[in-house]
Chains A and B, each alone.
Chain A
Amino acid sequence: MIIDMYAAGIAAVFGLLGIGLYGLMTLRNLIKVILSLQIIGKAAVLAVVVAGSISGEIAVAQSMAASVIVADTLVAVIGLALAVQMQRCHGSLDLRTLSMKFHTPPEAENGG
């Protein structure tokens, strides 16, 4: 039964990691990219706890998972704040549009 639990945990880690990576590669909306990062963060938390549970060091794993949760939440907070500013200043959350805007030379923007 406990082996089933570990197998379920490992399957969840791999599944969440795959979904997060797929989202990072295919999505162009900035909010969705942050959402994909959140999913990868959940996979990381789960991986640390599964590893700690298997090796019998669950307390150490929990303390490390707390650090991962804090870092993951900070990434979301700062990423969302930057997305809000992007929407305010450039009117778009599309990564390709923002990238084209930032890589346009100033002469082209001024029409010369």
Chain B
Amino acid sequence: MLSVAAVLVMLFSALLSISVRWLLTAALWLAVTSAGTAALLYMLGAHEIAVIEFSVGTGLVPVLFVFAMSLMGRASSMPTPIIPRTAAGGLALLCLALLGLTLLPINTAGQDKFPITFSQILWQDRSLDMLVQIVLIFAGIISVLNILRRTDTEPPGSRHDH
């Protein structure tokens, strides 16, 4: 019952986050979506990932969105979509139907395996992945600092004052 409630909260807030007009409100609804995702992950038994998702998705990412919006000022707008909404909804449903045909029914055999802990997998079997992720995080920070750096010599005509 709790899992159904978490799913409903998640889907409702995700729908609101793409449909509300104001970007700040959309970022807050995205945080609620992350909280619902974290709750469902916890119920599925992925406790460590639930904590990571909760701290990153509810803490870090909305703060990043708010920071970006504060740098941009009032930039909220809801222009008319390029693809008509009905066609986009139909295409999304078609993608989901194809995915469902591929995935379902799910084979639940093989659940009786001996348990290996998350830390064993993460730090022993996937240690190279961890190193790559650390490098990726540093590369991301450096690239963001470079992108956000204000350049004094901008090409003429590139800035449009409003």
Given the complex of chains A and B, what is the CA–CA distance between A46 and B44 in angstroms? 9
Interface pair A25/B27, CB less than 8 Å apart: no
Cα distance A76–B64 in the bound complex, in angstroms: 8
A111 to B119, CA, bound (A): 63
- How many A residues touch the partner, as a band? 35 or more
How many Å lie between the Cα of A67 and that of B131 in the bound state?
11
Residue of B91, B92, B161 ringed by the most chain A CB atoms within 10 A? B92
Nearest-Cβ distance from residue A44 to partner chain B, whole angstroms:
11
The interface residues of chain B lying within 8 Å CB-to-CB of A4 are 3-4
Residue contact B113 to A57, C-beta cutoff 8 Å: yes
CB distance A84 to B10 under 8 Å? no
A36 CB to nearest chain B CB (Å):
6
Whole-angstrom distance between the Cβ of A63 and the nearest chain B Cβ:
5
Tell me if B18 and A23 are in contact (CB < 8 A).
yes
Which residues of chain A come closer than 8 Å to B158, judged between CB atoms? 89-90
Bound Cα distance A81, B141 (Å) = 10
A54 to B68, alpha carbons, bound, how many Å?
A: 39
Whole-angstrom distance between the Cβ of A43 and the nearest chain B Cβ: 9
| 8 Å CB interface, A68-112 against B | 69-71, 73-74, 76-78, 80-85, 87-91, 93-96, 109
Q: In the docked arrangement, what's the CA distance between A56 and B77, Å?
A: 45
Q: A49 with B44: in contact, given A26-B88, A73-B56, A93-B72 (CB under 8 Å)?
A: yes
The CA-CA distance from A62 to B160 in the complex, in Å, is 47
Known contacts A6-B106, A8-B3, A59-B118; is-contact A27 B81 (Cβ 8 Å): yes
Q: Mark B58-91, 1 if CB is under 8 A from A, else 0.
A: 0011001101110111011111111101001101
Q: Which 4 A-B pairs have the closest CB atoms?
A: A25-B88, A26-B81, A23-B18, A56-B111
A interface with B by C-beta (< 8 Å): 4-6, 8-12, 14-23, 25-29, 31-32, 35-36, 38-39, 42, 45-46, 49-50, 52-63, 65-67, 69-71, 73-74, 76-78, 80-85, 87-91, 93-96, 109
- Taking A67-B133, A91-B160 as known contacts, 20 extra A-B pairs with beta carbons closer than 8 A to each other, sorted by chain A number, are A6-B108, A10-B106, A15-B7, A16-B37, A19-B18, A21-B96, A25-B81, A27-B18, A27-B81, A35-B27, A39-B14, A46-B37, A49-B44, A54-B106, A57-B113, A69-B49, A71-B136, A74-B136, A84-B71, A89-B154
